[in-house]
Amino acid sequence: MSSQTARAEELLREERERLVRQLAELGAAETGELRSDLDFGGSFADAGAVTAERTEVLGLVESLKSQVDDIDRALERIEEGLYGICAGCGNEIPPARLEAIPATILCVDCKNKGVTL
Ligand SMILES: [Zn+2]
């Protein structure tokens, strides 16, 4: 494993911990599942505001969850020894891109083409 990959793995694991903590603060599990006992405002809040808040939290959870997914995929690539290789076309991902977005597993071309895996 190159030192750049080792550094990326470290960054990714730290970032993942941070995201999971944020999810926990929102009352969501690592899987994005909300705790069932979560209280959105209690009985005195008006229903519209509660719905709006709930929608906002769900949106946030969704976005955090997808970041965790991205990181998990990147960590898988590291384990397979494929980190830094585009999962779409097999070309090398430029180090500057990996530096900017350690969780990326696609080169800019594939990303722009909307390649999904
Ligand atoms: Zn590519």
- Interval 2-36: pLDDT, tens: 888 999 999 999 999 999 999 999 998 888 787 76
CB count in 10 Å sphere of residue 102: 22
Using the mean position of ligand 1's atoms as its centre, give its distance from the Cα of residue 59 in Å. Answer: 29
Whole-angstrom distance, CA of residue 57 vs CA of residue 51: 10
- Compute, in angstroms, the gap from residue 84 CA to the centroid of ligand 1: 10
Amino acid at 58: L
Query: What residues pair up with 92 in beta bridges, in sequence order?
Result: 85
DSSP class of residue 45 equals S
Q: Can you list the alpha helix ranges (DSSP code H) found in 1-107?
A: 3-25, 47-79, 95-100
pLDDT of residue 37: 64
Q: Which amino acid is at 117?
A: L
The predicted pLDDT at position 116 comes to 80
CA of 95 relative to ligand 1 center, distance in Å: 14
pTM of the model: 0.82
The average pLDDT across 90-112 equals: 95
Q: What distance in angstroms lies between residue 53's CA and the mean position of ligand 1's atoms?
A: 38
The mean predicted confidence, pLDDT, of the chain is 89
Asked if residue 41 has pLDDT above 60, the reply is no
Contact 4, 98 (CB under 8 A): yes
